[in-house]
Amino acid sequence: MFLQKTIDNDYQPPSRLDSGRRNFLKAGIGVCAIMTLPSVCAKTIRMGEKQLAFLNLHTGERTRSTYWVDGNYVPEELQVIENLLRDHRTGELHAIDTRLLDILQLLHRRLGARKEFHVISAYRSPKTNAMLAARSSKVVRKSLHMQGKAIDICLPECSLSNLRKAALSLKIGGVGYYPKSNFVHIDTGRVRFW
């Protein structure tokens, strides 16, 4: 009885400092637990990865690619994307600007999208671009498509106007809106829109 009374009399509620210290320790233990997860569990966190998925509407080819892992672009995955985004008329390949891929990945995340981008046009050879420019005044003779720095896309789960708004909200590169042709143009040039 005496011992119980002594404990009760000496009891003081924890101070704010003690509770802050406790929260700090809990957070530290949580971080340590995450760091010691088996690699299988750690992979589900997917920190440090960028993914994109495409369907080329002209060839019917599709890909889902993890093109960036832990701060580095993955050359093999970039080649897969480059192949899918080739000039479908000539079969010519060109390196795709990684900034363009990063813009698309940001756009996909901004929209909370789950489906793949539908590709109308990506890389265009000079021959293809000249042919298209001869047919339409809307095709620029020195198009960024010829440098692998532009893409024309739509996203089935998103209205074209919302895709355009989301692209504009990024304030990165050029954004063209083509509702009659059902696509939005995205490029890595200076910030502009039409």
pLDDT, tens digit (0-9, with 9 covering 90-100), for 41-57: 333 344 599 999 999 99
Say yes or no to pLDDT of 7 above 60. Answer: no
Neighbours of 75 (CB within 10 A): 9
The CA distances from residue 139 to 38, 61, 185, in Å, are: 52, 25, 12
The CA distances from residue 78 to 46, 95, 118, 160, in Å, are: 19, 8, 18, 27
The 10s digit of each residue's pLDDT in 22-31 is 555 555 544 4
Give the mean model confidence (pLDDT) for residues 10-28.
51
Say yes or no to pLDDT of 151 above 80. Answer: yes
Least confident of 18-27, 37-46, 144-153, 163-172: 37-46
Q: 65: which residues sit within 8 A by CB, 6+ positions away?
A: 51, 52, 53, 77, 80, 81
Mean of all residue pLDDT scores within the chain: 84
CA angle 105–165–108, rounded 5-degree value: 15
CA distance 147 to 99: 12
- Residue 4: the pLDDT is 45
Q: How confident is the model at residue 138 (pLDDT cuts 50, 70, 90)?
A: confident
What is the CATH number that goes with domain 46-193? 3.30.1380
Say yes or no to pLDDT of 111 above 60. Answer: yes
- Residue 47: the pLDDT is 57
What residue segments make up the domains of the chain, in order of their start? 2-44, 46-193
- Residue 3: the pLDDT is 43
